[in-house]
Amino acid sequence: MKIEKIIISILFIMIFVVSLYGKGNWLKPLEINSFPEFFEKVHIGMKSEDVIKALDGRFKLIPADSEAIGYKDLNLFWNDNFVYILYNKIEYSTSFLFYKDILFQIRSFKELSIYKDKTEGEKTEYSDYENIINDFKNDSKYIYLLEEKFKPIDQSGYRSSVTVNMCHFKIDDKVITIKFIEEIYNANIKNLQKCYILSIIQVPFITYEELKNSKSGKKNETLEQFVNSYLKQ
């Protein structure tokens, strides 16, 4: 009888966990050979139901914090849990943003944080950034736009050095930005010593153009334009 009670308790816990976290967390990571291959499968402009189907139901839609994302007064949605992509045996956490049921932003990323006494996250190096860039350069469907490198000043004083590397590619009405950030922290202030972040982002080309002119204030308008063009299809 005691064993039966234990088994029943375990079953109840399993049911609770499944209901809490959803189906997506129980599926294995989506394995890909390259990010150009992934963007063939899932890309902005798709309807939410088609994205969820393409990813085997790995997530559900929930309301997003639109103002925090930078789209005030718009009703946006995103995935209730990360979709994990396995590329070169390393997991990338992936999020999706939707407006009017149309996907308009994909972001995959991984990061490595090095503390004085431990290391957290996935192995993340500059060579990973270069390898992904080469995948896009070797795909004739993508147009190389530019690569840039800059060192923003950290006003907080926590970081002694920040380096941002970015490379942009265009395909149809979409832009893919590969970004590698290296942050070096002041050892006498923070336990965290270094942080490396690699992200791959797909957005509308008109959004990319608007972001280059950040003072235009037309972020919402360009999003409406992009989404409405797909609603008409």
Q: What is the pTM of this model?
A: 0.86
What is the predicted pLDDT for the residue at 73?
87
What is the predicted pLDDT for the residue at 67?
86
What is the predicted pLDDT for the residue at 159?
84
Long-range CB contacts for residues 179-187, cutoff 8 Å, separation at least 24:
180/126, 180/128, 180/129, 182/126, 183/159, 184/159, 184/160, 185/158, 185/159, 185/160, 186/157, 186/158, 186/159, 186/160, 187/116
What is the predicted pLDDT for the residue at 190?
75
What is the predicted pLDDT for the residue at 11?
37
What is the predicted pLDDT for the residue at 218?
84
For 96, the token pair is 């999706």
The number of C-alpha atoms within 13 Å of 131 and in the hemisphere containing its C-beta is 11
What is the predicted pLDDT for the residue at 214?
67
- Local structure of 211: helix, strand or coil: helix
Residues in the chain with pLDDT < 50?
Answer: 1-25
Answer for the pair 144, 134: CB distance below 8 angstroms, yes or no.
no
- Give per-residue burial for 39-76: e unless 16+ CB within 10 Å, then b: beebbbbbbbeebbeebeebbebeebebeeeebeebeb
Tokens 């920040």 locate to 162
